[in-house]
Chains A and B, each alone.
Chain A
Amino acid sequence: MHPILGQRTRLGAYLLAWIPLVLFIAALLREPQGLSVPAALLLVAPPTAVFSFVCLAAWFPCRALPLAGRPVASVLLAHGVSAACAAWLWFAVGLLWAAAWSGTTPAADLRTAWVDSTGLLLGLGFVLYLLSVAVHYLLHAQEQAAERQRQVLELDMLAQQAELKALRAQLQPHFLFNSLNSISALTSDDPGRAREMCLKLADFLRASLSEGKPSQVSLAQELELARGYLDLEKVRFGDRLRVREEVETEALSCRVPPLLLQPLVENAVLHGIAQLLEGGEIRLTARRVGEELELAVENPVDAEVSERPGRVGEGVGLGTVRRRLDAIYREKARMDYRVEDGRFHVRLVLPAEDAS
């Protein structure tokens, strides 16, 4: 697609830019040749209009000869030759045009005036064409930059979708089977609770497996999912799993990527509660601090782990969360974690955007 011909506004601006040029050239020819203003314009405007389109053809050699990685001399030579041709073309068109007016009153003057200015016209044509080459190179570079940015964005989008898909696939099958086992146990003992657990499991699966979900959900929705998961795990772990939520109401409406909290909560159960004989309390906090949303998950860890900081690393779950934050928010979001007083703390800070 031609960067100027292809866009009406650009073509309009380009042609407008030629109007002062025409006036300027007409002025140059008028004085030494003693032409009247209308005669000079009549002589200059039509061939220059044709020339303005000839200059648009500079696009093709520009595209064929990208500046990067080519000897300067060969590029200069190629454009020099085409500039000379274009200048000659302009001159020839002008000559024919002036000749067409022979016989009418000011005819002799027009042809002589054009021919007498040969050197000036050819020089001007050469320079104008080269100017057009420069403009086309600029436009070409701009277009390429835009294209590259688009590609980067597209790759980002793809990467994000892939991450999300991976997150969904990562759903712990053991969690599922253990939950089914609990349901199986409850069916004879407490059928009401067994049914309740079935429904909760269904809700959780629907939310975590569904494709084509929006790329953002509200924190309230994400918390709902985490609660559903924790409720299911509570059936398995009983008193060993306790949960405390400290969620500010203002934070609930904030937008977050779906399944952002889920891996953190799963980690807290899997690497925290499940490894402890007595279990412990998982703490979920969410608050708005100015323009930022702060989410934190905290769980007790076994002394065998907490006393050796080297044992706590960024596993698959945390790594995925970090990459997703990076992809979506760039440097505007961050994640940190630490072990302190026998508890594992992980904190996410991201821009607080209200769900519309």
Chain B
Amino acid sequence: MSDSGQLSLVIVDDEAPARALLREYLAAETDVELVAECENGFEAVKAVADHRPDVLLLDVQMPKLSGFEVLELLDPCPAVIFTTAHDDYALAAFEVHAVDYLLKPFSRERLAEALQRVRENRASRPPLPRAELVDAARPAGAHLSRILVRSGSRIHVIAIDDVDFVEARDDRVRIRVGAEEHDKTEKLGRLETQLDPSRFVRIHRSYILNLDRLAKVELYAKDSRHAILHDGRKLPVSRAGYARLRELL
């Protein structure tokens, strides 16, 4: 994080002309230091981790990782100015406390205005409420189709179909995919609300199960049941969880 009056900045856009334009506009901003240019979300996550910039100029529609998904993976998150040709994300951008939302094509003055806002808010900017990030970018009613997990500078994109079950671990969740497991800072209850309820069931306070993996439910003591998965693994099923399962099966 730079001190004094300098603003360090990273450009993220998959289109070369768009990056060139931003570069040109920024040349007039004497206090802005361009520390990295990224062509996609993966590069962006890495660049932010490496450079800890003050500002991110972020495109929304990019291959593999959208701008919103990039934000979900950043910790800490710099001030964000979205640059996009789509006006449909303005509300979502507002929800994730983006500093500004620039609609392409925009003028040099419009960018300068957004940067001015960053300078003014620098001291008082509230931290991004990351819990809302995933929700903001997804259309209302749509379920999660993949889960993004970051470990160091590596990013895993886990297709939701591949998830066997999810386990609560303190303030994190552990996502089980075959022999692999991925930890993510997230609450199990919140994740539950984002998943398709006809396919993922909260079978226990600490477990969400992908129904496709369920082989059978076994009673092993009075009122105590186990879910047996196709690969033989056993998960505890609570009484409420069993009721939910029965409703679906």
Residues of A within 8 A of B (CB): 173-174, 177-178, 180-186, 188-189, 235-238, 240, 274-277, 302, 304, 308
Interface residue stretch chosen among B12-20, B115-123, B126-134, B164-172:
B12-20
For A178, give its contact among B16, B85, B161 (CB under 8 Å).
B85
B99-120 residues with Cβ-Cβ distance < 8 A to A are 103-105
Interchain CB contact under 8 A, B85 and A181: yes
- Asked if B238 lies at the interface with its beta carbon under 8 angstroms from chain A, I say no
- Asked if B243 lies at the interface with its beta carbon under 8 angstroms from chain A, I say no
Interchain CB contact under 8 A, B21 and A276: no
Q: Can you name the residue of chain A whose Cβ is closest to the Cβ of B40?
A: A277
Residues of B within 8 A of A (CB): 14-18, 20-21, 24, 39-40, 42, 61, 63-64, 85-86, 103-105, 146, 157, 159, 161
Bound complex: CA A183 to CA B16 (Å): 12
- Quote the shortest CB–CB distance from A179 to chain B (angstroms): 9
Interchain CB contact under 8 A, B64 and A186: no
Interchain CB contact under 8 A, A304 and B85: no
**Max chain B C-beta neighbours (<10 A), residue from A181, A240, A304:** A181
Interchain CB contact under 8 A, B18 and A185: yes
- Quote the shortest CB–CB distance from A56 to chain B (angstroms): 66
Bound complex: CA A178 to CA B105 (Å): 7
Interchain CB contact under 8 A, A304 and B159: yes
Residues on B with beta carbons closer than 8 Å to the beta carbon of A235: 17
Interchain CB contact under 8 A, B63 and A178: no
Listed by A's residue number, 10 A-B pairs whose Cβ atoms lie within 8 Å are A173-B85, A177-B85, A177-B105, A181-B21, A181-B105, A182-B17, A183-B105, A275-B64, A302-B64, A304-B64
For B24, give its contact among A189, A240, A276 (CB under 8 Å).
A189
Given A274-B63, A304-B157, verify A177-B104 contact (CB < 8 Å): yes
Bound complex: CA A304 to CA B159 (Å): 8
Interchain CB contact under 8 A, A184 and B21: yes
Bound complex: CA A304 to CA B16 (Å): 25
Task: Please name the 10 residue pairs, one residue from A and one from B, whose CB atoms are nearest each other, closest first.
Answer: A185-B21, A177-B85, A185-B17, A181-B104, A182-B17, A181-B105, A184-B105, A174-B85, A178-B85, A236-B15
Residues on B with beta carbons closer than 8 Å to the beta carbon of A178: 15, 18, 85, 104
Bound complex: CA A177 to CA B87 (Å): 11
Residues on A with beta carbons closer than 8 Å to the beta carbon of B157: 304
Q: Can you name the residue of chain B whose Cβ is closest to the Cβ of A238?
A: B16
Residues on A with beta carbons closer than 8 Å to the beta carbon of B39: 277
- Quote the shortest CB–CB distance from B87 to chain A (angstroms): 9
For B159, give its contact among A173, A181, A189, A308 (CB under 8 Å).
A308
Residues on B with beta carbons closer than 8 Å to the beta carbon of A302: 63-64
For B17, give its contact among A186, A240, A274, A277 (CB under 8 Å).
A186
Given A181-B18, A236-B17, A308-B161, verify A274-B104 contact (CB < 8 Å): no
Interchain CB contact under 8 A, B104 and A277: no
**Max chain B C-beta neighbours (<10 A), residue from A180, A237, A276, A277:** A277
Q: Can you name the residue of chain B whose Cβ is closest to the Cβ of A233?
A: B15
Given A182-B15, A302-B64: 16 more A-B contacts, CB < 8 Å: A174-B85, A178-B15, A178-B85, A178-B104, A181-B21, A181-B104, A183-B105, A185-B20, A236-B17, A236-B18, A237-B15, A238-B16, A275-B63, A277-B39, A277-B63, A277-B64
Residues on B with beta carbons closer than 8 Å to the beta carbon of A180: 104-105
Bound complex: CA A125 to CA B189 (Å): 91
Bound complex: CA A183 to CA B40 (Å): 21
Residues on B with beta carbons closer than 8 Å to the beta carbon of A274: 14, 61, 63
Residues on A with beta carbons closer than 8 Å to the beta carbon of B17: 181-182, 185-186, 235-236
Residues on B with beta carbons closer than 8 Å to the beta carbon of A174: 61, 85-86
Bound complex: CA A173 to CA B105 (Å): 12
Bound complex: CA A178 to CA B21 (Å): 12
Interchain CB contact under 8 A, B103 and A177: yes
Bound complex: CA A277 to CA B42 (Å): 10
Q: Can you name the residue of chain B whose Cβ is closest to the Cβ of A275?
A: B63
- Quote the shortest CB–CB distance from B22 to chain A (angstroms): 9
- Quote the shortest CB–CB distance from B81 to chain A (angstroms): 15
Residues on B with beta carbons closer than 8 Å to the beta carbon of A182: 15, 17-18
**Max chain B C-beta neighbours (<10 A), residue from A177, A186, A276, A302:** A177
Bound complex: CA A182 to CA B64 (Å): 22
Residues on A with beta carbons closer than 8 Å to the beta carbon of B16: 238
**Max chain B C-beta neighbours (<10 A), residue from A174, A183, A276, A308:** A174
Residues on B with beta carbons closer than 8 Å to the beta carbon of A177: 85, 103-105
Residues on B with beta carbons closer than 8 Å to the beta carbon of A276: 63-64
- Quote the shortest CB–CB distance from A6 to chain B (angstroms): 59
- Quote the shortest CB–CB distance from A190 to chain B (angstroms): 10
Residues on A with beta carbons closer than 8 Å to the beta carbon of B86: 174
